């Protein structure tokens, strides 16, 4: 790696830690711990964490909340030149919003084998027919990001609570 790549990797880890803080806030509220931030010119301009339960809004994923925050702050629904850091590989809904917002680069932590739209289930970011493309980097602090999720679901199962994920609940032997 050269010095520029090393500096970029350190910067990515720094901002991913900020997204992890957002994910921890979601967990404290009983939401699935996914956090996101939007960065423009090395400054955080948007923050968000999963809140579909509390907001009673199925679109209140961390990425969407962070995009809305950044768009309000910057006064534009398009966010060219901005980067989004998120602790979990974006789903199809969030990938679509990121592409529509013209995000320049998406950086995520853990892969999502059940719903990821950067190759885990499908790859919307690689769809050549779309009119906008963004660079995607996965695996930044993946272990820490993945641990947040696995610890959250293990704690919920141990407490007998439904996780909101039928597959996870079935693992725990609960009726769904």
How far is Cα 18 from Cα 24, in angstroms, rounded to an integer? 10
> What is the residue whose two structure tokens read 């917002």?
101
63 is catalytic: yes
φ and ψ at residue 126, rounded to 5 degrees: -95, 0
> Which 8-state DSSP code applies to residue 173?
T
Per the residue annotation, which of 13, 41, 63, 168 is the catalytic one?
63
How far is Cα 50 from Cα 26, in angstroms, rounded to an integer? 6
Helices (H) and strands (E) in the chain, counts: 6, 5
For residue 68, the surrounding DSSP H or E stretch is: helix 62-74
- Catalytic amino acids? 63
């Amino acid at each position: 790696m050269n010095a520029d790549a090393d500096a970029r990797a350190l910067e990515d880890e720094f901002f991913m830690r900020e997204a992890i803080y957002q994910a921890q806030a979601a967990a404290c509220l009983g939401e699935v711990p996914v956090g996101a931030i939007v960065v423009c010119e090395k400054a955080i301009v948007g923050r968000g964490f999963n809140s579909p339960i509390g907001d009673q809004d199925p679109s209140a994923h961390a990425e969407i909340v962070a995009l809305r925050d950044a768009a309000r702050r910057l006064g534009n629904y398009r966010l060219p030149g901005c980067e989004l850091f998120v602790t979990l590989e974006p789903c199809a809904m969030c990938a679509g919003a990121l592409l529509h917002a013209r995000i320049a680069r998406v950086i995520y932590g853990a892969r999502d084998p059940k719903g990821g739209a950067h190759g885990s289930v499908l790859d919307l970011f690689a769809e050549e027919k779309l009119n906008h493309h963004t660079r995607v980097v996965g695996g930044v602090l993946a272990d820490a990001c993945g641990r947040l999720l696995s610890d959250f679901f293990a704690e919920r199962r141990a407490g007998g609570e439904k996780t909101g994920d039928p597959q996870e609940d079935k693992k725990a032997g609960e009726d769904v």
